[in-house]
Amino acid sequence: MKRTFFDNVIIVIVLLLIGIFIALGSYTTYATQKALVSEKQNNLINEANLLSEQTITSYVQGITSMEYLQVRFNEFEDALKTNVWYFDSNGKMIVVSNPANYEKLPYNLKAINQDINLKKTFTMTGDFYGMFSGTVISIGLPIYTDSGQNGYLVLHTSMTELESLQDDMLSIMYMPFLVLILVVGVVLAYLSGTVIRPITKLNNAAREYAKGNFDTRTGVKRKDEIGELSDSLEYMASELSKLDEYRKNFIANISHDFRSPLTSIKGYLEAMLDGTIPVEKYDRYLNIVLTESKRLSKLTTGLLELNDFDTYGPILKKQNFDVVDIIREVRNTVEGVCDNKQIDLRLNCPAEHTFVYADKMKIGQVIYNLVDNAIKFSHKGGQIQITVYDKNDKVFVSVKDDGPGIEKDKQNKVFDRFYKTDPSRGKDKQGTGLGLSITKEIIKAHGEHIDLISTPGVGSEFVFSLPKANERK
């Protein structure tokens, strides 16, 4: 399995801690040993001075015998676990504590090492020139009395007890660090379970979303920032799924809407060229070709306009204008169509003029789209009412028909691009499915709202709002 970034981080942290532990252990061991040896050497020097003052001085002065000196040395060794060697000023051995316990005894100190200066103090750690099988701490110092130098005292003590003390001290010193490592391990394990694994799941889910598998779930349910991120990812996937479905529908719709008129145009033109359609019927079929071409042009224009909306947003040129005048212009434009279908188009405008602050051309497009839609779905002999009224600082425009109406479950879809209601609702099936979508985009760009009120079998009403004209504008 491929290691993640977080796995690498954990490995680095663990290795770093181990490295720190080894370095700290090595340094601490060295420093502790050095300090303990130094302290022990100082203690041995102090003990040697006391032994010299209390015992050897009496022997030199003839107050005590060599036998007494031997007994005192033996007691000293038993009490302090320290071997005592006493030499004269020439390095010749005089007395050694418990001589029976040592296989090798330096009867002459100079014979061991010629570099030993019997007039100076020395300290060393080791086997003392091979005299001991283990490591010992050794000190040597000259003995002085009133008559001058009266010998040389050498003390040896084993490192065993010191090493045991060192181990105890190091154990105490290492314990907090070991506890720290344990705590860090627990924290890393916790982070692995609560942070790293969920993030890994989120990463895997994101990869699936990138592949188009929007039904994938993160598997992370928590009430914290990671949980919020999980919810956001799943919400994003849901929205991407909708967009993907919209894209598929968009391609299918646009393919169908372009293919149908193109097929008609191609078919009629080929029939005219090969003589299938007689010359006397050319006018009829050329008019059909022209109508289909206009539908293609209208569809292309609508697509380009929506693309501009998506890319740049509607570019508005707001001004004060009379919305009633625009409605009258639209009525004049569709008057011929209404007459052919015997539709009664009525204007209900209590005021002769109603001024708004908006983009005049685009609001004219909105009104035309709504009226054109109402005409498509109005029965022969039906009625369309355009009403203008104001409330507070808003002007409302209503376009109402008495057509078949729209089912409640379809009303929230009428503004979707390429959405077309059941073809049985109207006889005009040449719409692009873009008019209401463009209408909503224009109204939304003005910061206003458009609503649909529809009852099946009764009719539909579209109502949108516009801001009143401001005299200062």
In a domain, 202, yes or no: no
Q: Find the mean pLDDT for residues 377-383.
A: 87
In a domain, 209, yes or no: no
Asked which of 262, 288, 310 is the last residue of a domain, the reply is 310
The CATH number of residue 287's host domain is: 1.10.287.130
Give the pLDDT confidence of 137-189 residue by residue, as tens digits: 888 899 887 778 888 999 988 887 766 766 666 666 667 767 777 777 777 66
Whether residues 333 and 281 fall in one domain: no
The mean-pLDDT minimum among 157-166, 181-190, 298-307, 339-348 falls in 298-307
Give the pLDDT confidence score for residue 429 in this predicted structure.
46
For 457, the 3-state DSSP assignment is: coil
Give the chain's domain count: 3
Q: State yes or no: pLDDT of 125 exceeds 80.
A: yes
Whether residues 456 and 343 fall in one domain: yes
In a domain, 472, yes or no: no
More reliable by pLDDT, 337 or 243? 337
H/E run at residue 320: strand 318-322
Give the pLDDT confidence of 242-276 residue by residue, as tens digits: 777 766 666 665 665 566 678 778 887 888 888 88
For residues 86 and 52, what is the distance between their CA atoms, to the nearest angstrom?
10
Whether residues 38 and 107 fall in one domain: yes
In a domain, 363, yes or no: yes
Q: State yes or no: pLDDT of 131 exceeds 50.
A: yes
Q: State yes or no: pLDDT of 283 exceeds 50.
A: yes
- Mean of the per-residue pLDDT values of the chain: 79
- Whole-prediction pTM: 0.47
Whether residues 293 and 324 fall in one domain: no
In a domain, 217, yes or no: no
Q: State yes or no: pLDDT of 281 exceeds 70.
A: yes
What are the beta bridge partners of residue 345? 384
The CATH number of residue 117's host domain is: 3.30.450.20
Q: How confident is the model at residue 465 (pLDDT cuts 50, 70, 90)?
A: very high
Where does residue 143 rank: exposed (0-12), middle (13-18), buried (19+ CB within 10 A)? buried
Give the pLDDT confidence score for residue 26 in this predicted structure.
67
Give the pLDDT confidence score for residue 426 in this predicted structure.
39
Whether residues 373 and 420 fall in one domain: yes
The CATH number of residue 330's host domain is: 3.30.565.10
In a domain, 354, yes or no: yes
In a domain, 360, yes or no: yes
What is the four-CA torsion angle of 112, 113, 114, 119, rounded to 10 degrees? -100
Whether residues 346 and 455 fall in one domain: yes
Give the pLDDT confidence score for residue 423 in this predicted structure.
47
Whether residues 379 and 426 fall in one domain: yes
The mean-pLDDT minimum among 220-224, 295-299, 469-473 falls in 469-473
Asked which of 133, 164, 195 is the last residue of a domain, the reply is 164
Whether residues 331 and 292 fall in one domain: no
Its domain, for residue 355, covers 315-467
- Rg for the chain (alpha carbons), in Å? 53
Whether residues 293 and 325 fall in one domain: no
Kindly list the distances between the CA atom of residue 400 and the CA atoms of 68, 154, 446, 452, 464, in Å, as whole numbers in the listed order: 134, 122, 22, 10, 12
Whether residues 12 and 159 fall in one domain: yes
Whether residues 20 and 139 fall in one domain: yes
Whether residues 326 and 413 fall in one domain: yes
Give the pLDDT confidence of 386-440 residue by residue, as tens digits: 999 988 889 999 999 988 888 887 877 787 766 666 544 433 445 556 778 878 8
In a domain, 213, yes or no: no
